[in-house]
């Protein structure tokens, strides 16, 4: 009698077929089964053990694509050719269990998928560094990362694997996963304060397209004074999410720049 070995299923959402084909080939060589391949997140109808999602997609893209998948029960590994720190943190906050650049080695890529399936999260040195930096720059009031959680992230930041960290700190795999779950929850809460609301996003799109305060107000059925208030709030979030931006940037400029970043897959 032949005993079939279970092969974890992995779905792929990628804009370019050649990218998806390359991932499928590597999955087969490393003991995974390709569950589905799609160009858009809406095309995935069944939940697999993990989903590799490119952050640059037609239609729903970036953190919005990650959130769409996460809300439907998928464990998402985000990937991109180029992604800045804020975009990676936003993907994490939207539900990605980890991030790997497309330039990563195949063994690292496969390890990331395995960690997401077995440990729930994959923490690269880059992601650990970004989460630690975000917690230091924009800490939550009161309770943010505990000393033990900072220690866990410091180990990941050095390049230690999950197994090495669990052994070094005397943690079970379940305890380490629980610590990462808390770290991710705080990362989501931290980033949620910086995200434009749907109405702010709408206004950003309008002013980026050339609408005046009065025109945007008419299209949104609000007053020009409310538009000014929205723009002030957008500027505050923009500065918090873009530490290198000058304080002198005007609310209108901040709104336009942020809208353009989002449209080009950078914000």
What pLDDT shows up at residue 179? 95
Mean per-residue pLDDT of the chain: 89
% pLDDT > 90, the chain? 61
Domain membership of residue 145 as a residue range: 123-195
Give the chain's domain count.
Answer: 3
Whether 179 and 255 map to the same domain: the answer is no
Domain limit, last residue, from 176, 195, 214: 195
Average pLDDT over residues 210-229: 94
The per-residue pLDDT for range 123-175, each reduced to its tens digit, is: 999 999 999 998 988 888 766 899 999 999 999 999 999 999 999 999 999 99
Same domain, 225 and 256: yes
Which of 121, 147, 181 lies at the terminal end of a domain, its last residue? 121
Strands 50-54 and 9-13: parallel
Q: Kindly report the number of other CB atoms within 10 A of residue 37's CB atom.
A: 18
176 plus 213 within the same structural domain: no
User: Which residues make Cβ contacts (< 8 Å) with residue 237, sequence separation at least 6?
Assistant: 193, 194, 195, 196, 200
Same domain, 170 and 242: no
Backbone φ, ψ for residue 97 (5° rounding):
-85, -5
20 pLDDT more than 50: yes
- 18 to each of 37, 100, 259, how far by Cα in Å? 11, 18, 30
User: Quick one: tokens of 244?
Assistant: 């290198």
pLDDT on residue 36: 87
Q: Which residues contact 37 (CB under 8 A, 6 or more apart)?
A: 11, 12, 14, 20, 24
Lowest mean pLDDT among 142-151, 187-196, 220-229, 255-264: 255-264
58 and 85 within one domain: yes
Domain final position from 163, 195, 227: 195
* Average pLDDT estimate for 64-93: 91
Residue 101 lies in a domain: yes
CATH number, domain at 245? 1.10.10
Instruction: Give, in degrees to the nearest 5, the angle at Cα 7 between 22 and 173.
Output: 105
**Within this chain, do residues 66 and 35 fall inside the same structural domain, yes or no?**
yes
């Amino acid at each position: 009698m032949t005993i079939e070995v279970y092969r974890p299923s992995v779905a792929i959402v990628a804009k370019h077929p050649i990218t998806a084909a390359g991932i499928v080939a590597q999955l087969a060589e490393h003991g995974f089964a390709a569950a589905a391949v799609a160009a858009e997140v809406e095309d995935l109808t069944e939940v697999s053990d993990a989903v590799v999602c490119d952050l640059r997609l037609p239609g729903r893209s970036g953190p919005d694509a990650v959130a769409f998948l996460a809300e439907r029960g998928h464990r998402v590994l985000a990937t991109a050719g180029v992604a800045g720190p804020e975009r990676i943190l936003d993907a994490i906050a939207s539900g990605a269990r980890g991030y790997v650049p497309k330039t990563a080695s195949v063994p690292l890529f496969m390890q990331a998928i395995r960690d997401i399936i077995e440990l729930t999260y994959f923490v690269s040195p880059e992601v650990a560094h970004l989460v630690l930096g975000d917690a230091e720059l924009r800490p939550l009031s009161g309770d943010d990362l505990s000393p033990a959680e900072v220690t866990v992230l410091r180990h990941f930041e050095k390049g230690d694997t999950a197994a090495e960290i669990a052994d070094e700190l005397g943690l079970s795999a379940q305890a380490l996963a629980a610590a990462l779950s808390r770290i991710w929850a705080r990362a989501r809460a931290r980033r949620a304060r910086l995200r434009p609301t749907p109405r702010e996003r709408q206004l950003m799109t309008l002013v980026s397209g050339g609408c005046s305060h009065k025109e945007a107000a008419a299209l949104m059925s609000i007053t020009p004074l409310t538009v000014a208030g929205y723009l002030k709030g957008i500027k505050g979030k923009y500065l918090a999410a873009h530490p290198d931006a000058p304080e002198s940037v005007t609310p209108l400029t901040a709104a336009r720049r942020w809208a353009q970043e989002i449209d080009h897959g950078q914000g």
